[in-house]
Amino acid sequence: MKIEGNGNLSIHYHSPEERTEIGYLNCTAVKEVRNYHSSLPGYSKTPLISLTELAKNLGVKAIYVKDESHRFGLNAFKSLGVSFAIGKILQEELDLSSGNLSFDVFQDPAILGKVKNVTFVSVTAGNHGRGLAWFARKIGAKSVIFLPQNAVKARVDAIRREGAEVKVINLNYDAAVQAASDLAEKNGWILVQDTAWEGYEDIPTRITQGYSTMSSEALEQLDQLEEDYPTHVFLQAGVGSMAGSVVGHFVNQQSKLLPKFIIAEPENAACIYKSANVNDGKPHGVSGTHSTMMAGLACGEPNINTWEILRDYASAYISCSDSFSAKGMRRFSNPIQGDPAIVSGESGAVGLGLTESIMTDESLIDIKDNLKLNDQSVVLLFNTEGNTDPENYNKILERYNKEDI
């Protein structure tokens, strides 16, 4: 179904499958990841924020936001995936103990001497590459980061400040990944990419596991607050690794009723939506430049591993225009009186923009009804980045008008 009104939106509905355990996101795996992240310098849980007044205003029971803009001082969540993946790569490459991994092992002078000869390479719109460069610097390794065409200077500079060699190339994200993969093979570097394809699946799986700390913390925080379990979870998707990690973790909570997962993507890079809409069970890519201000979601090929999770357990897939992200950014920054303000970037805000639009826009009332968003709904959102493009962030907020939100 496609709707054209205050912004283009297309939606595909799905009835989730009967649950089966997703092994690599089971309780043991998630616990290992949490323990590892807890050993990293500067680790602390990111806040879970209640937008109580907005929930009342929209007519839902509660809205919670897991604010990843505070993660390790990097303004985004991506460090969770690369830090765990690199830790496991080195555990295998250096033949370290097969037990639970701790960051402390990388303080051993003998290990440091080996790690300094390792080079990690990746492609990023900004956040993944910065997280990789940050962790490589922490352990004394080298990093080479590629950014696709139209990369934002602020994101490029942030990666360089972490000590990486940075290369901006005139290719879209997916073509850049192939170029980086070829160069890694040629130079003996290690490719650390959060999307999987046939023959390249182990490292993306580790990254997906790394992201589970985000949902694990959120559920623990809700339990500690004695708050209700979410009924609806809005998840933005690029290749689908983060979304698949969150959904997979929830699926493994067998004693709880599965929330409705709504997957959101920019309309020019909606590969998960397209894959669901084709409805043959297989992942399908989208071509083109993937033009969108949601740079972290500008990906044309789904992660073949997490696609299966999203295919089986999501309740809806949405392809939408940038206006929904802009709406979410403005609402986060200009909250209903009594709610805290949150700094949310283009790829972090689309879930809130969609939630508010679905609850208030008459043209979207069928979506509201189909998703059963009502006064008993508990909505969970993940703000996956802060203002990683300060110039565009400020432009969007400068255009703020109360009538817009």
CATH of the domain at 142: 3.40.50.1100
Tell me 160's DSSP state. H
Residues 310 and 167 in one domain: no
Are 239 and 320 within one domain? Answer: yes
* Sheet of 119-123, strands arranged across: 165-168, 142-147, 119-123, 190-191
pLDDT of 98: 64
Note whether 181 and 211 are same-domain residues.
Answer: no
Tokens for 142, please give them. 């080298």
AA letter at 278? V
> Do 148 and 58 share a structural domain?
no
Q: Can you give the pLDDT of all 405 residues of the chain as single tens digits?
A: 677 656 799 999 999 989 999 999 999 999 999 999 999 999 999 999 999 999 999 999 999 999 999 999 999 999 999 999 999 999 998 888 767 789 999 888 888 889 999 999 999 988 999 999 999 999 999 999 999 888 899 999 999 999 999 999 988 888 999 999 999 999 999 999 999 999 999 999 999 999 999 999 999 999 998 889 999 999 999 999 999 999 999 999 988 899 999 999 999 999 999 999 999 999 999 998 888 999 999 999 999 999 999 999 999 999 999 999 999 999 999 999 999 999 999 999 999 999 999 999 999 999 999 999 999 999 999 999 999 999 999 999 987 555 455
CB of 333 closer than 8 Å to CB of 353: no
CB distance 193 to 177 below 8 Å? yes
Read off φ and ψ for residue 199, nearest 5 degrees.
95, -10
Asked if 93 and 41 sit in the same domain, the reply is no
- For residue 10 the two structure tokens come to 């297309």
Residue 381: strand pairing partners: 65, 234
SS3 40: coil
Same domain? For 282 and 176 the reply is no
Hey, is 58 helix, strand or coil?
Answer: helix
- Per DSSP, the residues of 325-390 read HHHHHHHHHSPPTTSPP----TTTSHHHHHHHHHHH-GGGHHHHHHTT-STT-EEEEEE-B--SSH
The pair of three-digit structure tokens given for residue 53, joined into one six-digit string: 């007044």
Q: Which two tokens stand for residue 48?
A: 């879970």
Q: How many CB atoms lie within 10 A of CB 139?
A: 20
Distances (CA, A) of 75 to 24, 147, 330: 27, 18, 18
Number of domains, the chain? 2
Q: Which domain holds residue 293?
A: 2-76+204-404
Statement to judge: residues 150 and 265 lie in one domain:
no
Q: How far apart are CA 240 and CA 246, in angstroms?
A: 10
Which of 186, 201, 216 corresponds to the end of one domain? 201
pLDDT at res. 226: 87
Do 129 and 25 sit in the same domain of this protein?
Answer: no
CA angle 23, 134, 144 (to 5 degrees): 90
Give the torsion sign (CA, 164, 170, 173, 179). negative
Angle between helices 153-161 and 127-139 (to 10 degrees): 10
Alpha-carbon span 225 to 80, nearest angstrom: 24
Q: b/e for 81-99, b at 16 or more Cβ within 10 A?
A: bbbbbbbbbbbeeeebeee
232-236 β-sheet, strand order: 2-4, 8-13, 316-320, 260-266, 232-236, 378-383, 62-67, 48-50
Residue type (1 letter), 212: S
E strand segments, 15-96: 48-50, 62-67
CB-based burial of residue 122 (10 Å sphere; 0-12 exposed, 13-18 middle, 19+ buried)? Answer: buried
- Residue 360's CB is within 10 A of a number of other CB atoms, namely 15
3-state SS assignment for residue 64: strand
Residue 289: what pLDDT?
A: 82
How far apart are alpha carbons 363 and 360 in whole angstroms? Answer: 9
Q: Which long-range contacts (CB under 8 A, 24 or more apart) does 200-206 make?
A: 201/304, 201/305, 203/85, 203/89, 204/241, 204/303, 204/305, 205/24, 205/305, 206/81, 206/84, 206/85, 206/88, 206/89
**Both 273 and 343 in a single domain?**
yes
Can you tell me the distance from the alpha carbon of 219 to that of 268, in angstroms, rounded to the nearest whole number?
Answer: 32
| Beta carbons of 349 and 392 less than 8 angstroms apart | no
Q: Based on the domain organization, do 383 and 245 belong to the same domain? A: yes
Identity of the amino acid at 201 = E
Same structural domain for residues 177 and 245?
no
Domain-terminating residue out of 151, 171, 201:
201
**Domain final residue, candidates 175, 201, 227:** 201
254 and 329, same domain (yes or no): yes
